[in-house]
Amino acid sequence: MGDPLTQHSTLVQARSFEAPAARVFRAVSDPIERMRIYAAGAELTVAFEQLDLRVGGRDVFRFGRGNSLRFRGESIYHDIVPERRIVSSDIISEGDVRLWVAATTLELTPMGPRTQLKLTAQVVWLDGADEVEGSDACYAALLAGLDRHLGGNPHPRPAPRA
């Protein structure tokens, strides 16, 4: 590895779901439903070692394409407002190499029978890791799995990259 480098980016993905905020929040916060969401997202395989979505709680998981669970993730939850938001910090590694660290916010906005979901990740890639597209794809796979789990079709809304 050459000189230590960092790359910063803000990734934003927004979707509108045909489900009330209480239903969307339950889907992303209940451990059994969360495992089903990842199972529904066929783009990535995810295996959870620990699921503890509460303030101060931690998720530990491995993921990758197919049977190659070469990446390890750890999320720590800092703020949770039921049916409104979840704020976490996330660390993604491959073996002993830390690839990126993110501050992630999932915001839910009730819109009658629908819910607007906005996922914002402020990411720093470490030591020249060039995973912008990879991390964006991880978040997209999560939202696609959530949509399939809820049984609807999301209405993607273009979101700018900062």
- Cα 46 from Cα 50, distance rounded (Å): 12
Which among 103, 96, 45, 94 is positioned nearest to 76, based on CA atoms? 103
Instruction: Note the Cα 66 to chain centre separation in Å.
Output: 19
Coil/strand/helix, residue 47: strand
- Could you read off the pLDDT of 143-161 as tens digits, one per residue? 888 888 888 654 454 444 4
Q: What percent of the chain has pLDDT over 90?
A: 51
Domain boundaries, the chain: 6-40+80-150
pTM for the whole thing?
0.84
Instruction: Determine the CATH number of domain 6-40+80-150.
Output: 3.30.530.20
- Could you read off the pLDDT of 59-74 as tens digits, one per residue? 999 988 778 889 999 9
Which among 16, 9, 11 is positioned nearest to 129, based on CA atoms? 9
Q: What are phi and psi of 24, to 5 degrees?
A: -65, -45
Which among 104, 105, 97, 89 is positioned nearest to 126, based on CA atoms? 97
The per-residue pLDDT for 53 is 94
Position 123 pLDDT exceeds 50 = yes
